[in-house]
Structure 1
Amino acid sequence: MGIVSIAVGFAFKDIFENFFAGILLLWRFPFENGDFIECEGISGKVENISVRQTLIRQTSGELVIAPNSFLFLNPTKVLTDLPQRRITIIAGIAYGENVTDAVRVIEHAVDGCSTVHKDRPIEIFPQAFGASSIDIEVTWWADPTPVDIRRSRGEVIAAIKQALDEAGIEIPFPYRTLTFKHPLKTMLLGEKDGEIS
Structure 2
Amino acid sequence: MNINIAPLKIIREQIEAFTTSFIAVLPNLLAAVLFLVVVWLANKLIGSIYSRVLARTHMRSSLKAALQSLVSVAVWTFGLLIAATIAMPGLTPTKLLAGLGLGSIAIGLAFKDIFENFLAGILILLREPMRIGDYIEVEGISGEVKKITLRDTYLRQVDGDLILLPNSVLYKNAVSVHTDWDRKRVTIIVGIAYDEDVAEGRRVIEAALKDLDTVDQQRPVEIFAQAFNSSSIDFEVTWWTGSRPVEIRRSKDKVVEAVKTALDEAGIEIPFPYRTLTFKDPLALRSSSNDEDPSQGVENT
Q: Do these two structures clear the TM 0.5 threshold for a shared fold by scoring above it?
A: yes
Counterpart contact for 2:286–2:294, Cα < 8 Å:
no
Match of 2:187? 88
Match of 1:139? 238
Of 118, 140, 157 in structure 1, the residue corresponding to residue 217 of structure 2 is 118
How far has the Cα of 1:74 moved from its partner? Answer: 1.3
Of 9, 16, 24 in structure 1, the residue corresponding to residue 115 of structure 2 is 16
Name the TM-score, length of structure 2 as normaliser: 0.61
CA distance in 2, matches of 1:66, 1:50: 10
5+ residue gaps, structure 1: none
How far has the Cα of 1:67 moved from its partner? Answer: 1.0
Find out whether 1:68 has 2:171 as its counterpart: no
Aligned ranges 1:1-197 → 2 under 5 Å: 5-181=104-280, 184=282, 191=290, 196=294
How far has the Cα of 1:26 moved from its partner? Answer: 0.7
SS at match of 1:136: strand
Residues 176 and 10 (structure 1), Cα distance of their counterparts in 2 relative to 1, 3 Å cut: same
SS at match of 1:43: strand
Residues 185 and 11 (structure 1), Cα distance of their counterparts in 2 relative to 1, 3 Å cut: closer
CA distance in 2, matches of 1:187, 1:64: 59
Residues 188 and 89 (structure 1), Cα distance of their counterparts in 2 relative to 1, 3 Å cut: closer
Letter in 2 for 1:52: R
The one of the two structures with greater contact order (alpha-carbon pairs below 8 A, sep at least 6) is: 1
Larger radius of gyration: 2
How far has the Cα of 1:180 moved from its partner? Answer: 3.6
CA distance in 2, matches of 1:33, 1:78: 11
Decide which structure has greater helix share: 2
Residues 24 and 100 (structure 1), Cα distance of their counterparts in 2 relative to 1, 3 Å cut: same
| Cα deviation digits, residues 68-92 of structure 1 (max 9, x gap) | 1111111111010111000000001
Letter in 2 for 1:12: F
CA distance in 2, matches of 1:132, 1:191: 39
How far has the Cα of 1:3 moved from its partner? Answer: 7.7
How far has the Cα of 1:181 moved from its partner? Answer: 4.4
Q: State the aligned residue count.
A: 195
CA distance in 2, matches of 1:191, 1:22: 82
Task: Identify the range of structure 1 (146-155 vs 1-10) with the bigger mean alpha-carbon deviation.
Answer: 1-10
Task: Identify the range of structure 1 (167-176 vs 38-47) with the bigger mean alpha-carbon deviation.
Answer: 38-47
Q: Which runs of 4+ in 1 moved over 6 A?
A: none
CA distance in 2, matches of 1:8, 1:129: 63
Letter in 1 for 2:114: I
Decide which structure has greater strand share: 1
CA distance in 1, matches of 2:115, 2:213: 49
How far has the Cα of 1:43 moved from its partner? Answer: 1.2
How far has the Cα of 1:196 moved from its partner? Answer: 4.9
CA distance in 2, matches of 1:195, 1:170: 39
5+ residue gaps, structure 2: 1-98, 296-301
